[in-house]
């Protein structure tokens, strides 16, 4: 059984209200996919932007491949996401509304060995919303303790 690679953005659920999940492919070079398969990626500060009608992910950090030779990749370069035109148009219209952005929630390797990225349409939380989230987690944790 192959070890599964799943890199999550835990801050996303705390910082944003998430809606409209979607899975997208990523254009990667050889050393980038090898680093992801080793689990050496970080998407906690990443976000997506539209450039000339195409969706790109910015600030996603993929560490250098240890066994790479002279053709290494840049750790924080922007990478193109692969979506069809209908999905791109839908997300572009939504992001032009005030307060919406697209953030990655999970980076994983699928059954075919390809790197995929789950993205979601997000709206930022206010401070009082974050406090409410913390309260709900505390209550749920106390309930789980009582049930055991």
User: Of the candidates 56, 32, 36, which has an alpha carbon nearest to the alpha carbon of residue 109?
Assistant: 36
Q: CB neighbours (10 Å) of residue 27?
A: 12
For every one of its 148 residues, what pLDDT tens digit does the chain have, with 9 covering 90 and above?
A: 456 888 998 888 888 888 889 999 999 888 888 888 888 899 988 999 999 989 999 999 988 887 777 777 778 888 999 999 999 999 998 888 888 899 999 999 988 989 999 999 998 888 888 898 889 999 999 999 988 7
pLDDT for 141 equals 93
CATH topology of domain 6-147: Small Protein B; Chain: A; (2.40.280)
Owner of token pair 């996919």: 33
Q: Is the pTM above the cut of 0.85? A: no
Query: In the chain, what are the domain boundaries?
Result: 6-147
- Assign residue 52 a region: left if phi > 0, alpha if psi is -120 to 50, beta otherwise? left
Residue 45, token pair as written in the block: 């500060």
**Tokens found for residue 85:** 């035109």
């Amino acid at each position: 059984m192959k070890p599964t690679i799943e890199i999550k953005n835990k801050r996303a659920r705390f910082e944003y209200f998430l809606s409209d999940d979607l899975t997208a492919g990523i254009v990667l070079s050889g050393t980038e996919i090898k680093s992801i398969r080793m689990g050496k990626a970080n998407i906690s500060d990443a976000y997506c932007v539209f450039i000339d009608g195409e969706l790109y992910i910015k600030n996603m950090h993929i560490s250098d491949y240890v066994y790479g030779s002279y053709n290494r990749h840049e750790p924080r370069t922007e990478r193109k996401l692969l979506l069809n035109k209908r999905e791109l148009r839908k997300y572009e219209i939504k992001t032009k509304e005030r307060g919406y952005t697209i953030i990655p929630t999970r980076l994983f390797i699928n059954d075919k060995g390809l790197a995929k990225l789950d993205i979601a349409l997000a709206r930022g939380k206010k401070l009082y919303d974050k406090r409410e989230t913390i309260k709900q987690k505390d209550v749920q944790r106390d309930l789980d303790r009582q049930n055991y």
